Amino acid sequence: MASVTFKGVFPILVTPFDDHGNLDLESFDRMVRFMADIGVNGVTIIGVLGESNRMLDAEREQLIKTAVDAADGRIPVIAGTSYSGTRATLELSRMAESLGAAGVMVTPSRESVPNEDRIFEFFQQVAEGISIPIVVQDHPASTQVHMSVSLILRLVREIPLVACIKEEAVPTPPRITALLNGIGDRAVTILTGLGALYGAFDLARGAHGFMTGFAFPEVLLALVRSAKNKDFDAVHDIYHRYLPLIVYEQQPGVALRKEIFRLRGLIASSYVRHPGANIDPTTADHLKSLLHKMLPGMDITRPIEV
């Protein structure tokens, strides 16, 4: 298993299907290899973008295996293992560990009566059953769970396996400041998500990189390089240059992003599992025009230069 420090760029991968909705592991393998080739710091699979909530356990197993094999020790694989029950989350996390995942990404589930103590216990119990690090995903837009800053800091303080916060509760910039102030010396990092929508602003606040599904991780790598050099003018410029694409791509719905991955030659079909919506022809056209405008003359099936 590749060891992992949660700094840099961790693309969240889509889950490719064929046009009948069957797993397309060949595309999945290709996507993972591509990511390793362009130098990302790891990949995250079976997240919201990966349509995790439409997947059987056996399919999760296949995906983890495939990704770990494809990564081949070159990059760590983080597996999303969130489930509505604590024990099931723990079992899925154990499976991920046993299959070679370098970490798990976990988000709490909505309960009819929200209760932060229960959320703490949830992470605690999961941590007790595994030995790989945990990424706490804070994404109320998909979970309907609002974690307070003090809850997250309690997770950081009391659960040693918590190694990273994927921060996606808007507005993210002040939240990142509050978390960094609270984390202190603990070696826990903060990655921003949300398709990089607030990327430059979150890096300026001290975020350590990206864990998100933007389909041109080359751009994110350039952003992180400049941020590492404290060159925030360059960060701003790169962010500004690609921002229309970032904004367009982060619209709700997995289909848009899958279509870009398809256009990049990474997956064979942009099929989304029901009840998710597939891309409509007009939107596909507009997307193509936008790509032409933003990346003129580029062959996007190859790594792009930023």
Q: Which residues are catalytic?
A: 166
Looking only at residues 97 through 116 of this chain, which bind a copy of itself when binding is defined by CB under 8 A?
109, 111-116
Which residue among 45, 68, 169, 215 contacts a copy of itself (CB under 8 A)? 169
Given a contact cutoff of 8 angstroms between Cβ atoms, the answer to whether 89 and 81 are in contact is yes
Q: Is 21 in the site for a copy of itself (CB under 8 A)?
A: yes
Nearest distance, CB of residue 17 and a copy of itself, angstroms: 9
Q: What is the DSSP letter of 119?
A: H
Q: Which of 29, 111, 123, 112 is nearest to 77 (CA)?
A: 29
Q: Does 65 bind a copy of itself (CB under 8 A)?
A: no
CA distance 40 to 300: 17
Should residue 296 be labelled a site residue for a copy of itself when binding is judged by CB under 8 A? no
Instruction: Say whether residue 26 binds a copy of itself (CB under 8 A).
Output: no
Residues 115-144 binding a copy of itself (CB under 8 A) are 115-116, 118-119, 121-122, 125, 140-142
Burial class (CB in 10 A: 0-12, 13-18, 19+), 228: middle
Tokens encoding 137 = 């995903």
Considering only 37, 293, 301, 302, the residue that binds a copy of itself (CB under 8 A) is 293
Contact call for residues 159 and 104 (beta carbons, < 8 A): no
Choose, by CB under 8 A, the member of 170, 292, 298, 302 that binds a copy of itself. 170
Of 44, 66, 82, 86, the residue at the interface with a copy of itself (CB under 8 A) is 86
Its sign, for the CA torsion 225, 228, 234, 238, is positive
Alpha-carbon distance of 155 to 147, in angstroms, equals 11
Number of residues that bind a copy of itself (CB under 8 A): 64
Distance (Å, whole) CA 180 – CA 186: 10
Longest Cα–Cα distance of the chain, Å, equals 54
Return the residues of window 181-240 that contact a copy of itself according to CB under 8 A: 197-198, 200-201, 204-205, 236, 239-240
Exposed / middle / buried, residue 182 (Cβ in 10 Å: 0-12, 13-18, 19+): middle
Between residues 33 and 273, which has the closer beta carbon with respect to a copy of itself? 273
Residue with smaller CB distance to a copy of itself, 156 or 197: 197
Q: Is 6 in the site for a copy of itself (CB under 8 A)?
A: no
Token readout for 209 is: 């990189």
Residue 268 sits in the site that holds a copy of itself (CB under 8 A)? no
Secondary structure class of 4 (helix, strand, coil): coil
- Binding residues for a copy of itself, rule: CB under 8 A, are 21, 51, 53-58, 83-88, 91-92, 109, 111-116, 118-119, 121-122, 125, 140-142, 146, 148, 169-171, 173-174, 177, 197-198, 200-201, 204-205, 236, 239-240, 243-244, 247-248, 251-253, 256, 273-275, 280, 282-283, 286, 293
